[in-house]
Amino acid sequence: MKKVIIISLFVLGLIIPNIDVKAVDVSNEEELRAAIESGTNDIYVEENIDITKPIVINHDVDIESWGKFLYMKSDNTLITVNGGNVIINVHIVAGWDGTYNENGSRRESTVKGVGNGLVINGGNVLDTWSIYAGNIGVEVNGGTLIQNDSYIESRKYRN
């Protein structure tokens, strides 16, 4: 019996340090970028975030929100996934035109021909929110995109 307990404790000692329970709340681009780059698996977006340079994902990550948006004005790709199992539960607006509704909320409108929402070069991506892009909504070069009630609108623009 003593041997079983010692072996069990040894096995638990090997397993427990490898269990990744990191989770982090983010409210701005720096926090989001730091969480992704540090290898955090569970990220919760608390506020709408302006993204100034592309986000690259190379590992398993679950980006969640309750209806929050990532906005990028520039003519870049907002998110590129190169590997991992990735869940994106946040709205993406690539090529945002900077316009607001009368109530002060941002519009999801984009500049025609500007901005790509999501590029998948590898891995598995579960996209369950919306993507608005002035150019390409989603480009799959490798890996897999699993759409779950997603809304993808490319080349949405305002004159």
Is residue 8 domain-resident? no
The boundaries of the domain holding residue 45 are 24-154
Sign of CA dihedral 13, 17, 18, 19: positive
Is residue 88 domain-resident? yes
**pLDDT at residue 9, as a whole number:** 47
Is residue 57 domain-resident? yes
Is residue 48 domain-resident? yes
Is residue 61 domain-resident? yes
Please write the tens of the pLDDT for every residue from 40-97: 999 999 999 999 999 999 999 999 999 999 999 999 999 999 999 999 999 999 999 9
What number is the average pLDDT over the span 6-22? 51
Is residue 5 domain-resident? no
pTM: 0.82
Is residue 84 domain-resident? yes
Is residue 150 domain-resident? yes
10, pLDDT greater than 80: no
Question: Could you tell me which residues are beta bridge partners of residue 50?
Answer: 71
The mean pLDDT value of the chain amounts to 86
Number of domains in the chain: 1
